[in-house]
Amino acid sequence: MPDTNLLSVRDLKIEATSYPPGEQPKRITIVDGVSFDLQKGKVLGLIGESGAGKSTIGLSALAYGRGGAEITGGEVKLDGTDILKLGKGGIRKLRGARICYVAQSAAAAFNPAHRLGDQVIEATVKHGLMSKQEARRRALYLFQVLGLPSPESFGDRFPHQVSGGQLQRAMTAMALCSNPDLIVFDEPTTALDVTTQIDVLAAIKQAIEETDTAALYITHDLAVVAQISDDIMVLRHGKTVEYGPVQQIIETPTQDYTRALVNVRQTAREEAADQSNPLLKVDNVSAEYSNGFKVLHGVSLHLCKGQTLAIVGESGSGKSTLARVITGLLPPSEGKITFEGKPLTPALKNRPRDDLRRIQLIYQMADTAMNPRQTVREIIGRPLTFYYGLRGAKKTARVKELLEQIEMGNGFIDRYPAELSGGQKQRVAIARALAAKPELILCDEPTSALDPLVAEGILKLLMKLQEEQQLSYVFITHDIAIVKAIADSVAVMHRGRLVRFGPKSQTLSPPFDDYTDLLLKSVPEMELGWLEKVLATRRMESAGN
Amino acid sequence: MSNSAEAGGTPARSLRERFPLLTLIFERFLLSLLLLFAVSVLIFAGVEALPGDFASTYLGQSATPETIANIRAELGLDRPVVTRYFDWLGGVVQGDFGTSWASRNSVSEQVGKRLGNSLFLASFAAIIAVPLAIGLGMLSVHFRDRMPDKIINVISLAAISLPEFFIGYLLILYFAVNFGIATFPATVYEGMGFLERIQTIALPTATLVLVVLAHMMRMTRAAILSVMSSAYMETAELKGLSSWRAIVKHAAPNALAPIINVVALNLAYLVVGVVVVEVVFVYPGMGQYMVDAVTVRDMPVVQACGLIFAAVYILLNMVADILAIVANPRLRHPR
């Protein structure tokens, strides 16, 4: 049988040497025994949580090991030639010419010192595939296909002059410029807002179809990969869990892990019936930065005891700023905030200690919110000493009790943050907030940096704690699915203004305002053909206008 | 996502927001003037505080209280310090550095000739040293942790570890005495042809190049290495670019600011630090002029040299700051 595969990977094994502090260096296997085939013009989705080895596999198609990863076994055949045996010069001729790469963060992957247009055509020209003029014409064509604004002059801009979504499309243009056979997309939409993500997804899908390029599409979002792939490979701990056509994986998964990924949002609760007795009341609050830039415009909302208020919106909508205003980190320029009927002092430094204790914060990046040189005992113990004056054995007992509450054992008490997983770190951050025995916890995207199954665990924990301790949450997120699952009331924010606020059932049902409508429709759904459907509706609407 | 920021922008933007680059450059310029003024105070105060006194040195054995007082009155040293400072400063602003106490010549005239010689030597050394250092720095990144990198490192370290007068004497010993291919002393005079001049200053130039090379080379290497781990360097590699092109085209432009700064510091050192080299090679530049003046306590000359050296230092650093600002595309091309 003749080999019709463009890319054929067999028994791939990738290893790296890790240097744990204070121990002997050890070999770790990142990817083990992975095999797949990719035909011309097809898209294979690689999906899994972080550390599953999906990016590493994607980069192996360029014979590249990131950060000391080495391909130590198996073969990667492009049109029947094993590219692992090509040597440095041979592989350089392929990279940027026949195989291209689209990075997760285009903002970091573009060189800040050069114009976008020069970077887009650089590889194509350097590999001698086109003259400079031809490459420029091709870049212009690609900027048009990808829907970039004023495509004629787009290439003259520097990376810092365009938005994140535009950069991601420019990166796709850079990959497509040389007419490659294969493109590796490494989480190209993960860092984008949902409303931007859908445009980039559509642009990528159209560009792939138009140019008949094959692609490896790496993501942790099954709903996204379902829109764009022909086949899906589910990975975990560097091994293949399940590999098959997209329809089979989404509709009839055979493995438990895949089933868990498909059905990840099972947490759901009914909203509270009585939302009339507010604990926190934000009344016509505006805020501005010290340079006079206004970030919040007359926001009013409230939250009842023991309930959850979800604030949704894209980046730059002012949702985190609102949390900073509530904590007093950024005092409001107008309006007032009342807590249990009493007005809160606007600025943090003037607040009585007991008011500080009653409102706690959990951050998106547990990593950066903890001192890496303190153990879990010190991290959780600090508020115990600060608010309650606990020391010695009493403090240790309380830390253990808190560890129990966050479903982590005593064994973690002397660990450092670096020795914890992402989910465990977020749990410790929750315990630190709980240590103050607060009434209100502001959760600023606490799960958005986590893998879906881990995030699910954190959400369940937060809901359990709410039930046990009558906690109230302000939950900031851009993920509508989470809002649907956990909120009692919902506030939608856009460009510093409150677009919509009310009980969940009311806010998330029609009739919608334009922005909420766009936001809700942009959330990828685990349904084949969802993207086409949305795009078709959009076309009809714009034709109707 | 970018639109949200634009939407809230107020229509009346400040000058700083509209011309960030010009404002920054103007600020640096004002800062430099302020600094120069502060330095003039320091130099004057420093010279004032020096032990010893021109009159007693000048008169030597024949010094009596009366003759000393006479000379002091003649030079105006009996007036209050503040008056003398502003007198001096007023002259300096008009380009008049006063009269030398020892030779009774105009200091400005002498300085003019000497400074020209010093700048000639320094710029000749710079023309060789700067491209060489940056080139070697990039080479050593290209071959990092391999033989060429190590050789470049060892040689440049050896050169920086030896004091310049020692390097100077070594060069004289080998090239002027043993092989006889270079000239010594390196004294230039008016009416000398350009080629002859260059031949004459070959040895002091070589000494200066060896002294400043290592510093610039190592900074270039470190600055480029620190951007080598950026995501855009991975992009360059995954585009199939050669590693040399990636270094020159993609890494170096982003490492410019620290490189420009260290180059400026070394250029300033070339002008200011030539004192020792000029004395070793008997070169008629500012350095030797100053050393001669210090030995006889000829204060107007010492002050003039000090202030000019300071001005060169401040000027070069200001230029470096401005270049580093201009090298940043975010400031050059605001959104």
Identify the residue among B10, B229, B238, B247 best suited for mutation to test binding to A, counting A beta carbons within 10 A and taking the highest. B238
Chain B: closest CA distance from residue A41 (Å): 21
Structure tokens at A450: 């986590």
Any B CB within 8 A of A83 CB: no
DSSP state of A227: H
Any B CB within 8 A of A295 CB: yes
- Is the confidence at residue A303, as pLDDT, over 50? yes
Q: Using an 8 Å Cβ cutoff, are B220 and B137 in contact?
A: yes
What does the alpha-carbon distance between residue A446 and residue A450 come to, in Å, rounded to a whole number?
A: 8
Q: What is the mean pLDDT of residues A410-426?
A: 86
Residue A234 confidence class, pLDDT cut points 50, 70, 90: very high
Residue ranges of B 193-252 with Cβ closer than 8 A to chain A: 230-232, 234-242, 245, 249-250
Q: What is the mean pLDDT of residues A461-486?
A: 89
In DSSP terms, which residues pair with A286 in a beta bridge?
A: A334
Domains and CATH numbers, chain A: 7-262 (3.40.50.300), 278-509 (3.40.50.300)
What does the alpha-carbon distance between residue A289 and residue A332 come to, in Å, rounded to a whole number?
A: 10
Select from A103, A163, A292 the Cβ nearest to the Cβ of B235: A103
CA A181: distance to chain centroid?
29
Q: Using an 8 Å Cβ cutoff, are A305 and A439 in contact?
A: yes
DSSP state of B175: I
- Is the confidence at residue A311, as pLDDT, over 80? yes
Residue A2 confidence class, pLDDT cut points 50, 70, 90: very low
Residue ranges of A 481-520 with Cβ closer than 8 A to chain B: 495-496
Task: Tell me the per-residue pLDDT of A484-493, one tens digit each, with 9 for 90 and over.
Answer: 888 999 999 9
CA-derived radius of gyration, chain A = 25
Select from B8, B241, B245 the Cβ nearest to the Cβ of A294: B8
Q: What is the mean pLDDT of residues A137-154?
A: 89
Which residue, chain included where needed, has tokens 């938005």?
A: A163
- Is the confidence at residue B58, as pLDDT, over 80? no
Residue B293, pLDDT score: 85
Q: Using an 8 Å Cβ cutoff, are A391 and A398 in contact?
A: no
Any A CB within 8 A of B64 CB: no
Superfamily name and number for B19-51+97-332: MetI-like (1.10.3720.10)
- Lowest-confidence pick of A132-136, A305-309, A314-318: A314-318
Q: What is the mean pLDDT of residues A395-406?
A: 91
Residue ranges of A 164-183 with Cβ closer than 8 A to chain B: 164-165
- Is the confidence at residue A266, as pLDDT, over 60? no
Q: What is the pTM of this model?
A: 0.78
What does the alpha-carbon distance between residue A487 and residue A479 come to, in Å, rounded to a whole number?
A: 12
**Between residues B305 and A449, the one the model is more confident about:** B305
Structure tokens at B179: 């092989």
Q: Using an 8 Å Cβ cutoff, are A29 and A54 in contact?
A: no
- Lowest-confidence pick of A3-7, A76-80, A160-164, A350-354: A3-7
- Is the confidence at residue A312, as pLDDT, over 60? yes
- Is the confidence at residue A536, as pLDDT, over 90? no
- Is the confidence at residue B94, as pLDDT, over 90? no
What does the alpha-carbon distance between residue A533 and residue A539 come to, in Å, rounded to a whole number?
A: 10
pLDDT winner (highest mean) among A289-298, A496-505, B185-194, B288-297: A496-505
Residue B6, pLDDT score: 40
**Average pLDDT of chain A, as a whole number:** 88
Residue A362, pLDDT score: 92
- Is the confidence at residue B1, as pLDDT, over 70? no
Residue B10, pLDDT score: 44
The residues, any chain, with a CB within 8 Å of residue A273's CB and separated by 6 or more, are none
- Is the confidence at residue B329, as pLDDT, over 80? yes
Task: Tell me the per-residue pLDDT of A168-198, one tens digit each, with 9 for 90 and over.
Answer: 889 999 999 999 999 999 988 877 778 888 8
Q: In which element (H, E) is residue A139 found? A: helix A132-145
> Given 3-state DSSP classes, what are the helix, strand and coil percentages for chain A, each rounded to the nearest 5?
40, 25, 35
Residue A410, pLDDT score: 84
Residue A243, pLDDT score: 93
Which residue, chain included where needed, has tokens 């001729």?
A: A93
Interchain proximity A126–B240, CB inside 8 Å: yes
Residue A438, pLDDT score: 94
Residue A20, pLDDT score: 65
Q: What is the mean pLDDT of residues A244-263?
A: 87
Q: Using an 8 Å Cβ cutoff, are A446 and A459 in contact?
A: no
- Is the confidence at residue B170, as pLDDT, over 50? yes
Peptide bond into A511 cis (omega under 30): yes
Any A CB within 8 A of B5 CB: yes
Interchain proximity B9–A293, CB inside 8 Å: yes
CA B325: distance to chain centroid?
20
Task: Tell me the per-residue pLDDT of B61-79, one tens digit each, with 9 for 90 and over.
Answer: 777 888 888 877 877 777 8
Nearest residue in A to B12, CA atom: A292
Residue A115, pLDDT score: 93
Residue A53, pLDDT score: 85
- Is the confidence at residue A216, as pLDDT, over 90? yes
How many residues in chain B?
A: 335
As separate numbers, helices (DSSP H) first and strands (DSSP E) second, chain B gives: 18, 0
Task: Tell me the per-residue pLDDT of A51-76, one tens digit each, with 9 for 90 and over.
Answer: 788 889 999 999 998 877 889 989 99
In DSSP terms, which residues pair with B106 in a beta bridge?
A: B99
Interchain proximity B333–A496, CB inside 8 Å: no
Which residues from chain B sit within 8 angstroms of residue A64, using beta carbons?
237-238
Any A CB within 8 A of B13 CB: no
Nearest residue in B to A297, CA atom: B8
Any A CB within 8 A of B253 CB: yes
Task: Tell me the per-residue pLDDT of A459-468, one tens digit each, with 9 for 90 and over.
Answer: 989 999 999 9
Q: Using an 8 Å Cβ cutoff, are A250 and A262 in contact?
A: yes
Task: Tell me the per-residue pLDDT of B6-44, one tens digit each, with 9 for 90 and over.
Answer: 444 444 566 667 777 788 888 888 999 999 999 999 988
First to last CA, chain B: 14
